[in-house]
A and B are shown apart, each in its own frame.
Chain A
Amino acid sequence: MNFEKYGSKATRFGFGEGLVELGEADERIVVLGGDITGSVLTNYFRDRFPDRFFSMGIAEQNATTVAAGLALSGKVPFFASYGAFCALRNADQLRISVCYNEANVKIGGGHSGISVGPDGATHQILEDMAFLRALPNMTLVVPCDYLEAKKATIAIGRMHGPAYIRFGREAVPSFTREDTPFTIGKAETFRDGNDVAIIATGWMVWESLVAAEELAKEGIQARVINLHTIKPIDTETIAKAAAECGAIVTAEEHQIMGGMGSAVAQVVVKNTPVPMEFVGVADTFGGSGSPGELMEAFGLTAKDVYNSVKKVLKRRSGEWNGLQAMTEVGMEGEHPKGYPKPGTIFPIDALIEADRKSEEAVA
C-alpha cells in the first residue's frame, strides 16, 4: 500500500461521526455524556438521537458503572470522556463492572496522549494502554487517522464485549482511504520492506511512514505496520515481521513502560527474538506547550523513529552493543530532552526585571 497525506483532521471527529452511523443502524446504541460532549463529539449523537443520550455529569466512575447496567439490560452503551478520566479514574469500575461482567460497554477515550498540548500533564493520558491491555475481556483499539477512527468506532459498536477506543484532540494527517482494510485484531502492513520493521499505533503511524521514506533514501527499506488493535494483538503479523526483518522499532504516544511496545516485545521474545527499540514517552509526565513542541521534546517525531531505526540496526550488526537504560533513545542512546526545568525557558530574573520596568513605567 502506498499512502499520501490528503488532509488533516482530528481522530475525535471519526468517533463522533461513527457513533451517529452506528445509531442509525442499531437502536440498541445509547450514549452517556460526561459534561465534555462537545470535546469528544458525542454531541453529534445527542443532537441526532436525543432519546438515546443521557447526560451523566462529571462523574466518570458512576457513568462507567451505569453503562455496565445498561449493557446488562441489552443496550450497547458508549461512554466518552477524556482518556485521563475514562480509562484510569474509573479503573476499578472498568475492571469489575465492565470487564469481569463481560458487559458490552464501549469507552471512547478522547484527548489522548501528549498532543493535547497546553492543558498540561493532568490531562495528557500516557498510561491508559498499560492498564487497559491488562484487563481480561477488553479490546483496545487506537486508530491512526480520522477515517480509521470512524471505521474503528463502528467496528467496536458491532462487536460484542468491552472495548475501548483511544483518540486525540489535535488534527493529524489523514492518509488512509475508504478501501484501506480495517479489521479488529488484524495489523495492517502499510509499507513493505525487509530491512527493519516499524510497528506503530495512532498518530505515530504517519510519523513512521515519514521516517521510512527518509530511510529509503539511504537504501534501508523499512516495513511499516499499523498496529491499530493493541488487544487482542496480532501475533502472526508481528512474529512474521520479526523473522523477515530481523529488527523492530515500536512507536506510540504513550509511556514506553507497559504500552504497545511492551505488548509487541512479549510477542517477539516468545516467538522470534530480535533486537528492539522503543519510541514513546520515557517514564516522565508531560507539560504545557503546543503539540508540536511537546512531540519534539518527548521524542515522538519521525526523526526519533529514524534515529531508533539506525540504532536498532547498529545493534543487530553487533556494531553497538552497550547496555542501555529504558529512557535512552536515538543513535548512541541520548536522552530525549523531556520537559524543560522551571526557569529555563522563562528565566525568573528576567521576569522580575520586566515587573520592575513596568512598575517604573506606571510611576
Chain B
Amino acid sequence: MPFTNERQSPEKLAGIATEIRRSIIRSLVEAGSGHSGGPLGSSDIFAVLYLGGVMKYDPKNPDLPGRDRFVLSAGHMCPVLYATLANAGFFPKSELLTLRKFGSRLQGHPGRDMHLPGIETSSGSLGQGLSIAVGMAMADKLVDRNDARVYSLTGDGELQEGSIWEAVMSAAHYKLDNFCMIVDNNDCQIDGRVPDVMNVYPIKEKFESFNFHVIEVNGHDHAALLAAFDEAKDTRGRPTCIIARTYMGAGVSFMQDKYEWHGKPPSADQAKQALDELLPNSN
C-alpha cells in the first residue's frame, strides 16, 4: 500500500496541535465570521488522527482507494479540519486565509462541490455526517471487504439530533468494527451548557447500550488519544465511540470553556492575544 503515515510522538503532536490552533485563529480573523470554540477545543484530536499516524491517506492523492476516511459530522467545526488538512499537505496553507470568502474552496460549512482535497462529503446539517460515515464503513467492510477505516466526529450537543441514534443503531447492527466515532465532549453549545439546553447524559451508558465499544479519554492528552485509537483498531465485532472530554476554545485563555465562543471569530486584537499564547513549539 502506498500509505506512509508515520507514527509521531506525543511531544511532536503537541507542537502540531499548536500549529493547527494558530492556523485556525489566522483563518477565522481573516474570515470575520465562523466558529472558534469547537475547532480550538478539538485541535489535539485532529493532530493525533491525521498527523499521529492513526489515519492512512496520501495528501497528494486524496481520492486513493483503500484510504481511511474522516467525516466531520459537526460541519461548523470545519476551520479545524481545513487547518489540519493544510498542515498535512492536502492543499496550500495560504488557502486557509480564503475561509468563507466568495469563491473559496473553504466554504463556511464543507461543500463537496468545491472539490477541496481531503473533504469527503458536504456537512453542516447536524447528525447527517455520522450516517454518511456509517454508509462509507458499510461499503468498506461489507461490500469492498477492505481494511480501510472510517472516522467521524460529532459534537456532544449534536447527540440531541435523533438521527444520530439511527446511525449508531445501524453501525452496531452491522458490527462495523472499522468505524470509530469521536464525540467532542466539551459540554458547550450555542445556547449554553449541554445539560441545560437538552441533557444528553449519560453518554457512555447510552453508547454501551447500543452495543458500542466505548472509550473515555482526555481529549487534550495526545498519548491517551493515540492509545484510544489503537484500542479502537484492535476492537473486533463492534464499532467504537471515543468520548473525548475537551474544553471548548482550549489553548486560548479567554475562550476556554466559554460557550459564547461557539460561533464567533476573534477580533484582530483578540487574535493577536491568542497567537501570543499559542507560541510555536511551546508545548
Contact = CB atoms under 8 A, between A and B. Distances in A.
A342 B114 contact: yes
Interface of B: 31-34, 75, 91-95, 98, 100-109, 111, 113-116, 122-127, 157-158, 160-163, 189-191, 196-198, 200
A120 interface: yes
17 contacts: A33-B191, A55-B196, A59-B161, A117-B33, A117-B108, A118-B31, A118-B34, A120-B111, A121-B107, A123-B108, A285-B113, A288-B104, A344-B103, A345-B98, A346-B98, A351-B94, A355-B92
A354 interface: yes
A183 interface: no
Given A340-B102, A348-B95, 14 more contacts: A118-B32, A118-B33, A119-B33, A120-B108, A285-B113, A288-B108, A293-B102, A342-B115, A345-B103, A345-B104, A346-B103, A351-B92, A355-B94, A358-B93
Contact of B191 (A36, A288, A289, A290): A36
Interface centre among A35, A293, A294, A297 (most CB of B within 10 A): A35
A55 B191 contact: yes
A169 B190 CA distance: 16
Contacts of A89: 125
A190 to B, nearest CB: 31
Contacts of A339: 103
Interface string A262-292: 0000000000000000000000010111100
A38 interface: yes
A170 to B, nearest CB: 12
A297 B103 CA distance: 10
Contacts of A33: 191, 197
Contact of B125 (A57, A122, A285, A289): A122
Contacts of A344: 103
Contact of B105 (A58, A117, A293, A342): A342
Contacts of B160: 35, 57-59
A35 B198 CA distance: 9
Contacts of A342: 105, 114-116
A115 B166 CA distance: 33
Contacts of A121: 107, 109, 111, 113, 122
A61 interface: yes
A57 B197 contact: yes
Contact of B94 (A123, A288, A358): A358
A92 B115 CA distance: 32
B111 A35 contact: no
A55 B200 CA distance: 13
Given A55-B191, A123-B109, A62 B102 contact: no
A35 B190 contact: yes
Nearest to A37: B191
Given A33-B191, A57-B160, A122 B103 contact: no
Interface of A: 33, 35-39, 55-59, 61-62, 84-85, 89, 117-123, 285, 287-290, 293-294, 297, 339-340, 342-346, 348, 351-352, 354-355, 358
A297 B92 CA distance: 26
A294 B101 CA distance: 11
A56 B198 contact: yes
A351 B27 CA distance: 14
B191 A35 contact: yes
Contacts of A354: 92, 94
B102 A345 contact: yes
A58 B94 contact: no
Nearest to A344: B103
A37 B100 CA distance: 23
B157 A57 contact: yes
B17 to A, nearest CB: 19
A21 to B, nearest CB: 23
B103 A118 contact: no
Given A36-B190, A57-B157, A118-B33, A352 B102 contact: no
Contacts of A355: 92-94
A39 B190 CA distance: 9
Contact of A38 (B105, B109, B191): B191
A352 B90 CA distance: 11
Contacts of A117: 33, 108
Contact of B102 (A38, A57, A289): A289
B75 A122 contact: yes
Contacts of B101: 118, 288-289, 345-346
A119 B108 contact: yes
Interface centre among B116, B125, B158, B191 (most CB of A within 10 A): B191
B107 A58 contact: no
Interface centre among B111, B115, B123, B157 (most CB of A within 10 A): B111
Contacts of A55: 191, 196-198
A287 B124 CA distance: 13
A342 B98 CA distance: 12
Interface centre among B105, B108, B115, B123 (most CB of A within 10 A): B108
A140 B114 CA distance: 33
A213 B190 CA distance: 43
Contact of B103 (A62, A84, A289): A289
B98 to A, nearest CB: 5
B193 to A, nearest CB: 11
A122 B189 contact: no
Contacts of B115: 342
B102 A294 contact: yes
Nearest to A346: B98
- Closest 10 pairs between A and B when the two form their complex, measured CB to CB: A57-B198, A345-B103, A289-B102, A122-B124, A57-B160, A120-B108, A118-B100, A354-B94, A340-B103, A120-B107
